[in-house]
Amino acid sequence: MRMTIVAAALMVAVGVQGVAAQDTASAKKEVSFKADVTPLVKKYCISCHAEEEYNPSEFSMDTYEITKKGGKRGPAWVAGKASESILVQKLWEKPPFGERMPLNSKKKIAAGTAKWMTPEEIRVFADWVDQGARNN
């Protein structure tokens, strides 16, 4: 009997949490590729990742379509899944391969003068992918 009550209470708690999580997700501001993502790409990425530039790993970010193609490791994102998208993973402190983006010299990283995106800016990329990575 006791177990059943505990189990029921747990199910209610999980249910309430699920609703709360959905609420925060839908209350989140819609992120725009043009107004929010592109300015960050221009500020942090395009100096290397442009067809006319160094273009490492054949990954250019000139336009939405070109960015979507991704680089030598394939598509830059899985729409709706930021944590599975290399575009977002590469901004993490410990990316799954290679260096953290935007690339900084080892010297600057060691000296603590490396320039990274702020957590809020990284959120913009992540939220945009989670919201479907649309050309909006």
Q: Which residues bind ligand HEC (CB under 6 A)?
A: 44-45, 47-49, 56-57, 59, 70-73, 76, 86-87, 90, 98-99, 101-103, 117
CB nearer to ligand HEC: pick between 24 and 97: 97
Which structure tokens are listed for 92? Answer: 């993490």
In the complex, which residue's CB is closest to ligand HEC? 98
CB 124 within 8 A of CB 31: yes
Q: Which amino acid makes up residue 46? A: I
Min CB(48)–ligand HEC separation in Å: 3
Nearer to ligand HEC, 73 or 123 (CB): 73
Buried b (16+ CB within 10 A) or exposed e, 67-100: beebbeeeebbeeeebeebbbbbbbeeeeeeeeb
Min dist CB 115 to ligand HEC, Å, is: 9
